Structure 1
Amino acid sequence: MKKLALLLMISTFLISCKNDSNKEDSSVEETKKDSLAPVSDDMMETAVIYEANIRQYSPEGTFDAFTKDIPQLKELGVKVIWLMPMYPISMKNRKATGGQDVEDIEDPEERKKYLGSYYSISDYSAVNPEHGNMEDFDELVQTAHDNGMYVILDWVANHTGWDHAWITEHPEYYTKGKDGEITDPINDATGEPWGWTDVADLNFDNQELREKMTEEMLFWVKEHDIDGFRADAAHSVPTDFWESAAKKLNEVKPLIMLAEAQDPKDLFHSAFEMGYNWEGHHLMNEIAQGKKTAKDWDDYMKKIDTTFQKDDFLMNFVTNHDENSWAGTVRERMGDASEAMLAMSYTIPGMPLIYSGQEYDMDKRLLFFEKDTIPKTKGKVYPLLEKLGELKNTNVALHGGKNKASYTAVKNSAEEKVLLFKREKNGETLFYVANMTDKPVTFTAEMEGEFIDCMNDSELSISKGQEMNFKAWEYKILINK
């Protein structure tokens, strides 16, 4: 009996130790998971966002290949990583380069090289096996968190691929054409299809679809600790869906909500805090091409100031996956103005974007439906992004979120040619001044004082009425000495 009692005591002690160990492990895991501060307005004032194209980021096209480079992104001031869609891609109606369908290609080996559009999704709650498995994905998210970065997913709510289970299980979730069959997305303005034949249009008049879509989004927040969403074609989905989904998602934890849209404005009332600066981007292209002027930019900023609410803000960019693959490289669109426009995208209100490969002077259009690879050699752009990133992260006058620094156009004698504006907050002041033409310009400006030129760490003195001479596309970012 004594032996039995002793055995029971030992057994109880071991179980107790095991339970304490489990509690400790659980506590460690919870601490690790919560090591990153929740998404906040303050963080987004200074953030740089990085668009990660996992397929094209490396020769392997895997989560792991990108994960190992995440610590390096801190050198560029990155605080938010936006993952392009990394879900399984539909096989049915898969597109190939040149607009043809993969199914129309007879050669099976030729057919294999077409991987389809990232935006033709066959399963919202899985990862594309070409990139790795769910454990690899979780490691990516944890590595980002460990390095002080948040991860947002590209969310394609407007349509699914034709292989999605809902096509057969819930055809009522989809838009029907005149023939009563499920249709690809329709342009509401013309009533004609967009030509996105590899995807099927979802019908948000169906309440059950809305609930299912929200559940799919909640899965990634609750089960995989992601930090928000970039909503593809956000304007094509009813605003009240986004508002309802955002409310439920933010009840789990604060999130970053980015809309691939600049209109309608009600998207930014309670669903999204950030939108795309599409109009500003296109204006940058036109200025670089000599079609618009610095004065046109001043007019645009006045328009933004009157049409958006004070706490709305936009994502600024000189390139992204759409622009690169379909409209052309930065060099193709902006030429010698490229650097001035990049610096401008960091100094105007909002959050600047870096697209995969941009940091390595990428001067090619990445294939959209096939495997490709970005360059990995640091050239001129990488150190430029390091400087701009540090400035964005640390200078109060470049705050760009809900409590952004003020933006004021500064008068100068060549307002059609010279863009000059001032940013101010909490006593800090920064000026951006640039010749927005391909010819030298001489001008005077209503500014004077002792300045530091942030891009070359030199000192600059400007006296009242002093003439300044700028070469074609020359720019300066100046702070008071």
Structure 2
Amino acid sequence: MKSYGYILFLTILTIFMNGCKKQPDCPEPMGYQQYGEPFSNVPATEDIVIYEVNLRAFSQEGNLAGVQQKLDHLVSLGVNVIWLMPIQTNGGPLNSPYCISNFYEVDEEYGTLEDLRTFVAEAHSRNMAIILDWVANHTSWDHPWIDSTGWHTTDAQGNIIHPSGTNWTDVADLNFDNTALQEQMIDAMRYWVLEANVDGYRCDAADYVPFDFWQKAIDSLRIIPNREI
């Protein structure tokens, strides 16, 4: 069952928790390498000035490079945290950025992983942290996980359904009772922290996802060495 209470504070996933320093009881996450230097000037929560960026609408280019060209303008506004709306490959008939078909890939509309790395580095050089919009609650209907039995919520007849109580028919609801799904989702979140050097997440539809998953995700991200996530 999904938990809807007491997690609205997770709209931004403890963006800047104190990271774990590199110690014997603080193991390296497996499988990925840290790209670049972890950002050391993450603002305190009470000092955050956040700017949400819709990549398609922010610039004429409609991509990461277009936003990068305007970083100095954002600095002039006093921004110290940039929140990027979903950058991952999306699917579905509506072409919504919140309809993810691959949690590990930058949508070619916005650029490449290298473009994201460059963007993050340029933002960090201007003392701005980068957080990604994270869509944990659902996937596109053409996501490979559709073929994984038990990874999505089903009705009494065993048919995968869209999120209950919504009109989000372009997406398929994920089943967070499935431990394998939870582990894979957390793995994807670790991927971007390490491989793209991002600083945290804003969590979409946080109150549709069980509290215990978010706690598990926070604990897993906290053990990444030398980070404030």
The TM-score range, normalised by the shorter chain, is: 0.7 to 0.9
- 121-130 or 69-78, which deviates more: 69-78
What is the correspondence of 1:141-156 to structure 2 with a 5 Å cutoff? 141-156=120-135
The answer (yes or no) to whether the contact 1:171–1:182 under 8 Å persists in 2 is: no
**Match in the other structure for 1:86:** 87
Equivalent-residue separation in structure 2 for 1:243 and 1:80 (angstroms): 23
After superposition, the C-alpha distances for 1:284-323 in whole angstroms (9 at most, x for unaligned) are xxxxxxxxxxxxxxxxxxxxxxxxxxxxxxxxxxxxxxxx
Runs of 4+ in 1 over 3 A off after TM superposition: none
What is the correspondence of 1:63-74 to structure 2 with a 5 Å cutoff? 63-74=64-75
Structure 2 residue matching 1:145: 3-state secondary structure: helix
After superposition, the C-alpha distances for 1:128-173 in whole angstroms (9 at most, x for unaligned) are 10111111111111111010000000000000001111111x1310
Equivalent-residue separation in structure 1 for 2:48 and 2:132 (angstroms): 17
Identity %: 43
Q: 1:165 pairs with 144, 149, 152, which one? A: 144
Residues paired across the two proteins, number: 193
Equivalent-residue separation in structure 2 for 1:51 and 1:71 (angstroms): 15
The Cα shift of 1:38 comes to: 4.9
| Pair 121,209 (structure 1): closer, same or farther in 2 beyond 3 Å | same
Equivalent-residue separation in structure 2 for 1:218 and 1:175 (angstroms): 24
After superposition, the C-alpha distances for 1:353-400 in whole angstroms (9 at most, x for unaligned) are xxxxxxxxxxxxxxxxxxxxxxxxxxxxxxxxxxxxxxxxxxxxxxxx
Letter in 2 for 1:167: I
Structure with the greater relative contact order (CA < 8 A, sep ≥ 6): 1 or 2?
2
The Cα shift of 1:45 comes to: 2.1
Are 1:242 and 2:221 matched, yes or no?
Answer: no
Q: 1:135 pairs with 114, 117, 139, which one? A: 114
The Cα shift of 1:117 comes to: 0.9
Letter in 2 for 1:186: S
**Match in the other structure for 2:49:** 48
Are 1:186 and 2:164 matched, yes or no?
Answer: yes
The Cα shift of 1:250 comes to: 1.7
The answer (yes or no) to whether the contact 1:38–1:254 under 8 Å persists in 2 is: no
Q: Greater CA radius of gyration, 1 or 2?
A: 1
Equivalent-residue separation in structure 2 for 1:149 and 1:82 (angstroms): 10
Q: 1:210 pairs with 171, 178, 182, which one? A: 182
The Cα shift of 1:52 comes to: 0.6
Structure 2 residue matching 1:167: 3-state secondary structure: helix
The answer (yes or no) to whether the contact 2:113–2:196 under 8 Å persists in 1 is: no
After superposition, the C-alpha distances for 1:86-125 in whole angstroms (9 at most, x for unaligned) are 111113xx13xxxxxxxxxxxxxxxxxxxx1110000001
**Match in the other structure for 1:319:** none
Unaligned segments of structure 2, at least 5 residues: 1-33
**Match in the other structure for 2:29:** none
The answer (yes or no) to whether the contact 1:47–1:77 under 8 Å persists in 2 is: no
Letter in 2 for 1:72: H
Equivalent-residue separation in structure 2 for 1:145 and 1:210 (angstroms): 30
Equivalent-residue separation in structure 2 for 1:216 and 1:245 (angstroms): 11
Q: 2:228 pairs with 251, 254, 276, which one? A: 254
Are 1:39 and 2:42 matched, yes or no?
Answer: yes
The Cα shift of 1:60 comes to: 1.7
The Cα shift of 1:254 comes to: 1.7
TM-score by length of 2: 0.81
The Cα shift of 1:84 comes to: 0.2
The answer (yes or no) to whether the contact 1:49–1:81 under 8 Å persists in 2 is: yes
**Match in the other structure for 1:263:** none
Equivalent-residue separation in structure 2 for 1:197 and 1:177 (angstroms): 14
Equivalent-residue separation in structure 2 for 1:233 and 1:177 (angstroms): 21
**Match in the other structure for 2:104:** 125
CA RMSD, 1 decimal: 1.5
